[in-house]
Amino acid sequence: MTATAIGSGKARSGEDVTVVTARDSSSLTPAVRKQLSAIKGQVVVAVPLNAGDWTTIARATPSPIVRLTPAGPTSAGAQQVVAATKAILAANPRARVEWVVPIDADPDTIANASSAAKVVDTIAVTIPADAHWPRTMRDLTDWTTWASAHRKRVSVVQQVDATTRPGLVRSVNDWIGVQAKSRRIAYSATTTQN
């Protein structure tokens, strides 16, 4: 498989979530799309904003979550998210779209962020394996508060590697538990870094 399963987790509904990364639309060959369609639960297809053919990506499974990762916190990135989301939904109205935001960016300083928030279903954050918890908690809270103000939930993917402190994992899970009670979390997943 040229697309790689990078993580798993649980949706707010309790449904299993599998996160798959694809370097571009050509990674999603018919054989890979068949494998993705056989996965029980929700499939999240993580792709960069320059991934290519949005129709192929939108149809990776009958109703995928497409996780769009822009190059950085720029107005161009937000504008690309809007354009990509419109193309994805035109190709598959059952698809859902996430905008991966840079966790350490201030949501109020990203130009056109509100326009991107209007078209996506979820605001997504990735917690690095070597995150510093007090700062990460502040950043997560900022993004969750901003997303909630835009009537969006947040999906959280935590990267873990051999150097990740167990206390960080516990702290993130505790934070997710508190936010989930407020219905602010769409899903959470853990990915293993090599």
CATH number at 105 reads: 3.20.20
The domain containing residue 107 runs over which residues? 4-192
Angle between helices 166-181 and 133-149 in degrees, nearest 10? 20
Overall residue count recorded for the chain in this entry: 194
For 42-88, what is each residue's pLDDT tens digit? Answer: 888 888 888 878 898 898 888 888 988 876 555 567 788 888 999 99
How many structural domains comprise the chain? Answer: 1
Residue 82: strand pairing partners: none
Q: Is the dihedral of CA 73, 138, 122, 61 positive or negative?
A: positive
Pairing of strands 4-11, 16-21: antiparallel
Helix then strand then coil, % of the chain, to nearest 5: 40, 25, 35
Q: What is the pTM of this model?
A: 0.82
User: What is d(CA 175, CA 179) in angstroms, rounded to the nearest whole number?
Assistant: 6
6: three-class secondary structure by DSSP: strand
For 127-167, what is each residue's pLDDT tens digit? Answer: 999 999 999 999 999 999 999 999 999 999 888 989 999 99
